[in-house]
Structure 1
Amino acid sequence: MQNIKLPELGLVCITASNQVRYRALTRKRLLQFNDAEQAQLLRQLYQDNLQRLNKALDFCVDNEIKLYRVTSAIFPFADTPVGEAVLDEFNEELRLTGDRAKNLGIRIVVHPDQFVVLSSDNPDVIENSIKILAMQAMIFDKLGLERSPWAMMEIHGGKSDRSERLISVIRDLPDAIRTRLALENDEYAYSAQEILEVCHAAKVPMVFDAHHHVIHEHLDTYEHPSVAEILTAARTTWPVPEWQLVHISNGEAEFGDRHHSDLITTMPTCYRDAPWIEVEAKLKEQAIQKLREEWLMVAPTKVAATV
């Protein structure tokens, strides 16, 4: 009997329980202190969050999760001179953590925030966006993660009707960013077809989000033929087809609601062919477990004992 490879379901940042959480710090609070005090504050925060990243890896191992989207705010202000100098103090520990993730077979990716807009009309916005991506790339380099879409840094297209600018900016990005970059279709600015074309032109992978697609195209089902068609087309943008990663979410109040629901109750049939799926639901690990039991129909794992 032929073995069928089931999709790997990924955890996004934190758990619904308090098992995976990270500390945060606002710029307003940081600026209340002098440089030495800022360094000490960041040192303790980075230490704590690095430990919490390792706890996240523990959680993934315990619950047989092979895909983890780390929060983009794990080391806040690492793009400042003080923050970067402090993060350098953790180089050895960071590499050990990255090596541990590799040895455990856990794929780590990141989704920088909405302020990253490479297609903006404002050069300052583009410059700041590249600075944010450079910080994420620096963190991934310190973790020893591959400069490839396996260790993906994924963003949206940003400003609509600016495809040529987006392609041009991507082509000129430093290798540490460009080799990991992927683009996702969104609900309003860039359709799945538009992002697919940009990805082919810029030679970066496409992350297909079926829920964004149905909202953008005003569809009332994931079974519309275009969902399967774009899933297949997006796979051609990945240098290794088996690395293809997609997103799934459900609407909270109704099918076409852009706000995420607690659990995933509706899946595109074609997603059975998606190798890696990030589960974007409010109840996180509970949503993963529900999909395993009801959609993938595999034996319950340890997730059930943690929720």
Structure 2
Amino acid sequence: MRIRFGYVANALGLWDASPSKALTFARYSALPKHERMEKLKAVTSKNLQHTKRILHYNIAHEIKLYRFSSSLVPLATHPEVMWDFVTPFKTEWEELGQLIQQFQLRPSFHPNQFTLFTSPRAEVTMNAVKDMEFHYKMLEAMNALERGIINIHIGGAYGDKETSLARFHQNLKQLPHEVKKQMTLENDDKTYDVKETLNTCEKEKVPMILDYHHYMANQGEIDLTLFLQRIFNTWNTIPKVHISSPKSDQAYRSHADFVSFEFIHPFLKMAKELNQDFDIMIEAKKKNLAMLQLIDDIASIRGVKRLSGGEVEW
């Protein structure tokens, strides 16, 4: 069993490398009209430049998984802006894509919690479609559709899970087919548990990402050992799992700076029984530093062999 590791957005330790520099609509609106587009382009250019630096860091450390920032392009979906962020940066997007292809990286995006398909409000669904299309366009610009995914949660229950799930399936029909092909769903820590998310994924024929921390916070009566193989079977490529650990007992749903090996060890042993390769995305606050620490911890297990900077074999 081989496990590859990755992290989210920012490589800590790289100087001034945030790929999520922002431009608010208020700040944009306050600028003279002739300066607005230049400011949008300047912030986007910086974010793309920093992303390229981060990919080079990942390549140097043999880290195959990386979640791109959803804030790469400011105001990309704002109804009063909606600007062309691909054409002016065609070269930059292509350079990122070349790195992804050459070094066989596995890119992903994770839109925010407002990108959901369970809302009874039509404008929420419309905005969710718009946001998914925005992330799709970034993957497309990088020629990374074959490798990339866009992961979301099912959404809210609005006081009636059964009705909300039915609405999810109905609203999802508004998502263009080519965008849906990139989509994955993840169980959440409050509402839709592993079983509900898995059933939804199987019905929609989309892969499921297991979030182990969310499972531990919202497991109900479910025994994960009875579902893990089914979760992995939703993938036609290497399955992917999200890993983090609680900040504290009082803030159980919040992510800690690092990943507690003790917390995730039961899951690793469970996965070992399946003897199937899978990927782990680290969602700890310390990002790549937490990932490297966890790899060290796992590599210390008897029988585990470290294959590279970002991969182990058990």
Q: TM-score range by the shorter chain?
A: 0.7 to 0.9
> How far has the Cα of 1:299 moved from its partner?
5.1
Change (3 A) 1:259 1:140: same
Q: Is the 8 A contact 1:186 1:212 kept in 2?
A: yes
CA distance in 2, matches of 1:35, 1:300: 53
2:141 aligns to what?
Answer: 142
Equivalences for residues 1-307 of structure 1 within 5 A: 5-19=1-15, 20-22=17-19, 23-79=21-77, 84-146=83-145, 150-160=147-157, 161=161, 162-217=164-219, 226-240=223-237, 242=238, 244-254=239-249, 257-265=252-260, 266-267=263-264, 268=267, 269-272=269-272, 273=276, 275-297=278-300, 298=305
State which drifts further: 127-136 or 292-301.
292-301
Q: Give the structure, 1 or 2, with the largest relative contact order (CA under 8 Å, sep 6 or more).
A: 2
Distance in 2, matches of 1:24 and 1:278, equals: 24
* Per-residue deviation, residues 62-89 of structure 1 (Å, max 9, x unmatched): 2111000001011112235755334321
Per-residue deviation, residues 221-257 of structure 1 (Å, max 9, x unmatched): xxxx8223322111121123x2x11101101113980
Gap runs ≥5 in structure 1: 220-224
TM-score of the aligned structures, taking structure 1 as reference length: 0.87
**Residue identity matched to 1:259:** S
Q: What one-letter code is carried by the residue in structure 1 that aligns with 2:38?
A: Q
Note closer, same or farther for the CA distance 1:129–1:239 as it changes in structure 2 (3 Å cut): same
CA distance in 1, matches of 2:66, 2:36: 30
Q: Distance in 2 between matches of 1:42 and 1:176?
A: 28
Query: C-alpha distance in 2, partners of 1:100/1:141?
Result: 14
The letter of the residue matching 1:203 is K
Structure 2 residue identity aligned to 1:280: E
SS in 2 for 1:89: helix
Please tell me the residue identity of whatever aligns with 2:270. C
Asked if the contact 1:214/1:256 (under 8 Å) is kept, the reply is no
Q: Are 2:188 and 2:211, in contact at CA under 8 Å, matched by a contact in 1?
A: yes
Letter in 2 for 1:228: T
Runs of 4+ in 1 over 6 A off after TM superposition: 300-303
Aligned length: 290
Residues 292, 188 of structure 1: alpha-carbon distance in 2 compared, 3 angstrom cutoff: same
Deviation at 1:192, TM superposition (A): 0.7
Identity %: 25
Give how far 1:302 is off. Answer: 6.7
Deviation at 1:17, TM superposition (A): 2.6
Q: Is the 8 A contact 1:188 1:216 kept in 2?
A: yes
Query: What is the DSSP-based 3-state SS (H/G/I as helix, E as strand, rest coil) of the residue aligned with 1:31?
Result: helix
Pair 89,82 (structure 1): closer, same or farther in 2 beyond 3 Å:
farther
State the alpha-carbon separation in 2 of the partners of residues 116 and 248 from structure 1: 21
1:222 aligned partner: none
Q: TM-score, normalised by structure 2?
A: 0.85
Deviation at 1:166, TM superposition (A): 1.2
CA deviation map 1:83-136 (0-9, x unaligned)? 533432112321222122111121110000111121101111111111111111
